[in-house]
A and B are shown apart, each in its own frame.
Chain A
């Protein structure tokens, strides 16, 4: 108990001290000391309690009563602050809602306080594993960001107009006040106290957004306070209703009440609390406050608007998760809003060039994912939600801190200006790349959590959300990959501007990066020792979504990627450097200058793709706001219209337990070895046959069957030369991941992991192409990203279809079923054939680079790859072809061993079919590729999954 009080008090004392001692040196000492103490205290707290499970602390009711009075006083002070600012800046809407809240707070105090001390909870303070995780997040990430703010604010003040008042002490004090409030939120069982913490964070955020007091900052801060006060009022009304029903003011008692005969009492309060959670988590239609909040200094964005405060919103939702199993209206509302927000905000992130806005949209999207998981309410979904919280916090805070520092170094937060940052800010950029990868690719935690999300939604058969998840994730790949590409470009002669980065900034970024890697590597341990027991406490089950062997493989890959990114491994410094290809006219490869006609020298420039016409931000926002607002209204209407037994009747879905029948680590290892040997041989022969058949279709003799082998052997023997030192290392990684993916497949392991690893391989290929900063390779890489975005939804739908047909994601499961999965999954199979054209790089969708038979001016993504690097690309292509054909064959395999022959025959037939298409269709525009693939995925996904998933109900 002492430690909890200390956790709340220490930042509070620091905040007061910071207001008193205003000089810069004093502030540095106080900040570092307070951050250190808070961090150490939270770690200490975690050490003591991480494994101890749900524990409550009893307080004398008189003490509780005094604290409640103090909390109420704080509430009133906060209302006064809001009212004062509303009057000062003449904001009527804020004034009205502020008055409503003031009246509400006073009314509520009048209701509860006169009952005196004996009405108080006996045990108002608690913790369980989830709270401890939150304490760690707030204590470690939060303190690190406070330290970061020291250096950052120095530069920030420097960039302010001369004569601007120095109010940095106020800023620092707010940050610590905020930390204290967060501890109150995550450790209070008493809902009244939680509400006070909730309001403090709102007001802190309001003051920090308005920190610069520019008109824009003030406008955005009022938008924040208005939207968040809606949530606050909803919270307050929920409290009043709970009190009027005579129920205890305790978070832990809510599930108990929900499962008792008084369950109808909570129908409306749960809806209101959900709305409060959704506003704090910036879900549509309330999401605009978080976008506006990006005007605040970056530490604010990192601390409040990505890693902690918005997490308070989802924390409440996750705490309510077991209750959503009882109340279908609230559950449906939260899932629908979360899902729609995820998909739409991922789409809109594509259109942004401002790095902080991309981060904001991605934050909103991921919070949507977490909300949706919480809304489903099953143990599996909550597992996913908790890991999403952890990994989103660490990855996103690294990214925010890096963007903040980069902004001060290069004077811009526009992604276009981050071109070639890899050479200008080498260390910082690598951390940033790590953070970006941490957000969206295997093997990092975010992806594993998304994987778990997919599994848990497949288990509950939520087609609507699965489809949103599939498309949203595809968009996620696109906007992260293109940003990554901008960062990865290597300029040979660039000025290193890293010197001015403050020590405190390095310390914070490095520390959180270590946390990121540590969490990824330790994910299996965290799952077994912390999150599992938490779920066992709440649900009496420990979900097994993902095999431990798969998690271990992921952990190993994390280490590998960290080595590739952060160490000099694979940097080929002894290779001859050649200039990028600019039609033979290159004069300066670093600035891409070339001789043009009439003796002019021109520069080739390239911008990222923003596709504003495909994903118009204003229209998507409008659609999202309208849909989500109506969902909320319909949710509340349902509470009053529908019959009570239905409203407390629980969710209606058939939960399918996922079967783990994978082969285990030795099996996977054997599979990888077999694939590594067999796939290149088979792939090479297939490729040779392809060229031979194509030639015959054109009335030619064509090359020898072994021609692809000769090509690769020749490339191996060429001189070693490259445009930069890193591209071969990236391509090697891509090859390794492709082989690993194939090995996973043939050993019968997880199909989803196989798909994710193929995506990871493609990502490394894309980065290799971007690293050249060549206009041709960049265009190829952009198109490759577009292709991934086009086919990814279909692949996700394929894996979900596989699950619905076999009840497992493990390929080995095929040998236990008594009929091939082609029967239930025929539409999905046809969809797979469609996107296979994209994956195999065949016409009409060979946008990024086409294969052999098509001879074209420049080779797209492989333009700058030569010699051994190009040979590796070829081998990877062979392996991928074999793997994709095995996906086709998979549809025809069942427990009869002879069916493997059928599978091979069908795979070869599909191969021939693709070659035929390749030779008979001209290349199409990328718009057709995207819209075609998405339309096919949407139609076959909805039709097929709906058919398979409603079968149990018929």
Chain B
């Protein structure tokens, strides 16, 4: 039995965005949606997090920050791109300073499009990410045994 899926802790980073998705992510953490039902906790610290929620596009300012946060997270970890800007760059895609979606900086596991992304979509995406988390944890466990 894997415990990763039962206790997914999040960290949220807002890249170059209009802040719409940012607000929606916070919305989904509200008592109304009660994500703690799934054991989800919003942490403020990559070292404690299993799931990295990114909203907004990647630009030259934040690309290193995103990489750094990702690097500080402990395996197993998954990345969820929330909103179309995080998925592809969205309407900002052709802006001179924008590199593109989150996958230009780090590997993304789940894409949750929308402008702005709806809280239900975010929760769905997280629950999908949780399954990937479990798979990664299982792989890690197997690698540990083989070592």
Chain A contact residues, CB within 8 Å of chain B: 578-579, 581, 584-586, 595, 691, 695, 698-704, 707, 710-711, 713-714, 717-719, 721, 776, 852, 855-859, 862-867, 870
Contacts and interface: CB of A to CB of B under 8 A. Distances in A.
B115 interface: no
9 A-B pairs with the lowest CB-CB distances in the bound complex, closest first: A719-B75, A710-B6, A713-B3, A714-B3, A584-B65, A700-B34, A866-B47, A857-B44, A714-B7
Interface stretch (B16-24, B66-74, B93-101): B66-74
Given A586-B68, A714-B7, A866-B74, A703 B45 contact: no
Contact of A703 (B39, B48, B66, B141): B39
11 contacts: A584-B13, A584-B66, A584-B68, A586-B68, A700-B37, A707-B6, A710-B3, A719-B75, A858-B45, A862-B48, A864-B47
Contact of A718 (B41, B66, B69, B75): B75
Given A703-B37, A710-B3, A710-B6, 4 more contacts: A581-B72, A700-B36, A717-B2, A717-B137
A789 B74 CA distance: 35
A710 B39 contact: yes
A581 B72 CA distance: 8
A369 B16 CA distance: 62
Given A703-B37, A719-B140, A714 B44 contact: no
A585 B65 contact: yes
Contacts of B119: none
B76 A584 contact: no
Nearest to A716: B3
Contact of A702 (B36, B42, B48, B137): B36
Contacts of A856: 44
B72 A579 contact: yes
B15 to A, nearest CB: 11
A102 B48 CA distance: 73
B113 interface: no
Contacts of B69: 584
A901 B38 CA distance: 35
Nearest to A708: B7
A681 B75 CA distance: 27
Given A717-B141, A718-B75, A581 B37 contact: no
Interface string B29-40: 101001011110
B50 interface: yes
A13 B44 CA distance: 68
A776 B48 CA distance: 14
Contacts of B34: 695, 700-702
Given A578-B71, A698-B31, A710-B6, A866 B140 contact: no
Interface of B: 2-4, 6-7, 9, 13, 29, 31, 34, 36-39, 41-48, 50, 64-66, 68-69, 71-72, 74-76, 137, 140-141
Contacts, number: 97
Given A703-B37, A711-B7, A713-B3, A855 B74 contact: no
A692 to B, nearest CB: 10
B136 to A, nearest CB: 10
A930 B100 CA distance: 51
A585 B9 CA distance: 21
A707 B68 CA distance: 29
B3 A699 contact: no
B39 A707 contact: yes
A698 B33 CA distance: 12
B45 A718 contact: no
A586 B9 CA distance: 22
A337 B85 CA distance: 71
B143 to A, nearest CB: 11
A359 to B, nearest CB: 36
Given A701-B37, A859-B45, A718 B76 contact: yes
A579 B73 CA distance: 11
Given A581-B47, A714-B3, A852 B76 contact: no
B3 A578 contact: no
A152 B109 CA distance: 62
Contact of B6 (A698, A714, A718, A855): A714
Nearest to B38: A703
Contacts of A702: 34, 36-37
B47 A863 contact: yes
Given A581-B45, A714-B4, A857-B44, A704 B39 contact: yes
B22 to A, nearest CB: 15
A341 B110 CA distance: 65
B37 A717 contact: no
Q: In the complex, which of the residues A702, A711, A717, A858 has the most CB atoms of chain B within 10 Å of its own CB atom?
A: A717
A870 B7 CA distance: 14
A918 to B, nearest CB: 15
B44 to A, nearest CB: 4
Contacts of B6: 704, 707, 710, 714
A698 B35 CA distance: 13
Contact of A859 (B39, B43, B65, B140): B43
A866 B44 CA distance: 13
Nearest to B49: A866
Nearest to A721: B74
Contacts of A700: 31, 34, 36-37
Listed residue (B9, B31, B48, B65) with the most chain A CB atoms within 10 angstroms of its CB: B48
A719 B48 contact: no
A380 to B, nearest CB: 49
B3 A855 contact: no
Nearest to B37: A701
A711 B47 CA distance: 14
Nearest to B69: A584
A702 B36 CA distance: 6
Contacts of B66: 584
A858 B39 CA distance: 19
A409 to B, nearest CB: 33
A858 B43 CA distance: 7
B65 to A, nearest CB: 4
Given A700-B36, A718-B74, A859 B48 contact: yes
Nearest to A858: B44
B47 A695 contact: no
A128 B122 CA distance: 80
Given A584-B68, A713-B3, A866-B48, A695 B140 contact: no
Given A714-B4, A719-B140, A584 B46 contact: yes
A595 B65 CA distance: 10
B36 A703 contact: yes
A707 B48 contact: no
Contacts of B50: 714
A719 B72 CA distance: 11
Contacts of A718: 74-76
Contacts of B42: 855
A863 B43 CA distance: 10
A669 B48 CA distance: 35
A149 B47 CA distance: 48
Most buried by A among B37, B39, B45, B50: B45
B74 A867 contact: yes
Of the listed residues B4, B7, B34, the one surrounded by the most CB atoms of chain A closer than 10 A to its CB is: B7
Contacts of B76: 718-719
Contact of A710 (B7, B29, B74): B7
Interface centre among A700, A714, A862 (most CB of B within 10 A): A714
Nearest to B75: A719
A581 B64 CA distance: 14
A526 to B, nearest CB: 46
Given A584-B68, A585-B65, A700-B34, A707 B7 contact: yes
B132 to A, nearest CB: 15
A864 B46 CA distance: 10
A703 B9 CA distance: 13
A865 B45 CA distance: 10
Nearest to A579: B72
Contacts of B74: 718-719, 721, 866-867
A863 B45 contact: yes
A448 B37 CA distance: 48
